[in-house]
A and B are shown apart, each in its own frame.
Chain A
Amino acid sequence: MMEKMIFGRYVPGDSILHRMDPRSKLIIVFLFVCVVFIANNAWTYGILAAYTFIMVGMSKISPRFLYGGLKPIFLLVVFTFLLHIFMTKEGDIVFELGWLKIYEGGIRQGIFISLRFFLLILITSLLTLTTTPIEITDGLETLLNPLKKVNFPVHELALMMSISLRFIPTLMQETDKIMKAQTARGVEYNSGPIKERIKAIVPLLIPLFISSFKRAEELAVAMEARGYKGGEGRTKYRQLTWGMADTGMILFLAAVTILLIVLRG
């Protein structure tokens, strides 16, 4: 039931995006998150969308699979859109029905904000789809290394991140398993009235919580048993290598950014 979910999942492959250094990918995603806010008219949003779709193309991940996996998140996008349409009161009234008034500004805001949201989700999904959790963590750790000087727990943060990413699929499997067990006991997750379906979450969440706590404890014991005592003096098996493609991709995003600033209204 949950098997289609792709958030936080890695798809093995051999595209440019897969081969890039995780550091450059992280920098690009971070920059993109900031750059998204530069856009404020149709042209700039168009360029952002084009950039995103070029990236999707480069990842060689089938768009159909991407669409299937992100479907649950699209609901959130649609929700954002509706929220803006009904809540923004700017510009001329386009449509009026009793108390319901839809303004021109609302439609603009709705489209722009939900598009922004949608592009952000796509780009961040691409990061996790083309980079193994370990690479992401390694990349992040090296990027944040300078912060160690001010006693920022870089290694711990990276570890926490890699553990959470690592356990997303496990949690999904477990959710699926417990869902099936409860379905066999007569709970309906995919049909029936909303009220019943909300109630059905309890028999799912409690077992999940319990097993997560148990797993956390087991993991801690296993790590200690293997002599883990933090990042101090720990060597690395995987070495990160920065290549031409990495510099190239960052320059490409920089060029897009300049274009956005120029075309910004």
Chain B
Amino acid sequence: MDISLKNVEYRYQADSPFERLAISDVSIDIPSGTYLAIIGHTGSGKSTVLQHLNALLKPTRGSVVIGSREIRAKRKEKNLKGVREKVGIVFQFPEHQLFEETVEKDIMFGPMNFGVSEKEAKARARAAINLVGLSEEILEKSPFDLSGGQMRRVAIAGVLAMEPEVIVLDEPTAGLDPRGRKEIMDLFYSLHKQKNLSTVLVTHSMEDAARYADEIVVMHQGKVFTKGTPELIFSNPQALIELGLDVPEVVGLQLRIEESFKTKFKKISLSEDELAEMVAEFLEGGGLK
């Protein structure tokens, strides 16, 4: 399912003393099957953009096209369930949304809201809990007896069980330990590949953006600062650093090597192996002299 934002503007609390322009003139295309990362500072409007992807927020100007549905500014939109079924959002700290008596019921909650039968929902809960790497015994437990990391996984399973075509992730690994982080990110990446999902990742982690995304959008002060492939975005690290953003560690290392040895490699590398090769080449070419 394709999603596209056209000149979207959003004001929080329009017409009140608290009115605040969150994003303006944001245009982003997310063709089916893309892995898009949105990066930017806190307050750059990332989360606001994200909430437009399944019509949780409606633009105050511009329009959002989600599949065959168009959401326009200043129009009453009814019956958005169809949209929400196809676009699953994993919010920041999704474990805060758990409420049912058992993990199983909580995972079934989403699918059943969208009219899936109880039997089917049960099967989906089972599949989802395996997918997020938890054992099936956990299904009978109360979600509030679990550890933080397990709760996070259960909440994610609750969104996966809806079997969305587009999955939107808002800092899904915030507060997890490094191993949990990697496992969760790898899980989303393999789902993305296997089921040909579109994935939108809102993140602070340049590592994740560089490693997984096909396309990166950099947000700054409510506007799209730049967008393009990771190679393109990180080929101009200076611009990112000026915005106060990090660059991936590999890129940072490459910049430091280039500086110390007064040289310039042929391109910006996004993986350790690539950088190692370029350094080796440089050394063989007698670069140390």
- Residues of chain A touching chain B, judged by Cβ–Cβ distance below 8 Å, are 3-4, 11, 61-62, 64-65, 68-69, 177-178, 180-188, 191, 202-203, 206-207, 210-211
Contacts and interface: CB of A to CB of B under 8 A. Distances in A.
Contacts of A186: 81, 84-85, 110, 113-114, 162
Interface string B148-189: 000000000011001000000000000000000000000000
Contacts, number: 70
B99 A202 contact: yes
B15 interface: yes
Per DSSP, are chain A's interface residues mostly helix, strand or loop, or mixed? helix
Interface of B: 12-13, 15-18, 51, 54, 56, 78-79, 81, 84-85, 87-89, 91, 94, 96-99, 109-110, 113-114, 144, 158-159, 162
Contacts of B87: 184
A180 B98 CA distance: 13
A183 B88 CA distance: 10
Contacts of A203: 97, 99, 109
Contact of B96 (A61, A62, A64, A178): A178
A207 B96 contact: yes
Given A62-B17, A203-B99, A207-B99, A183 B56 contact: yes
A184 B53 CA distance: 11
Contact of A181 (B18, B79, B97): B97
Determine chain B's interface SS by DSSP, over half rule.
mixed
B54 A184 contact: yes
A182 B113 CA distance: 10
Contacts of A3: 12-13, 18
A52 B16 CA distance: 21
Q: Sort A-B residue pairs by CB-CB distance and give the 7 closest, nearest first.
A: A186-B113, A206-B99, A185-B110, A181-B97, A184-B89, A203-B99, A65-B16
A59 B102 CA distance: 51
Given A4-B16, A184-B91, 10 more contacts: A3-B18, A11-B17, A61-B17, A62-B16, A68-B15, A181-B89, A181-B94, A184-B56, A185-B110, A187-B113
Contacts of A185: 84, 97, 109-110, 113, 158-159, 162
A182 B16 contact: no
Given A207-B98, A207-B99, A184 B17 contact: no
A206 B101 CA distance: 10
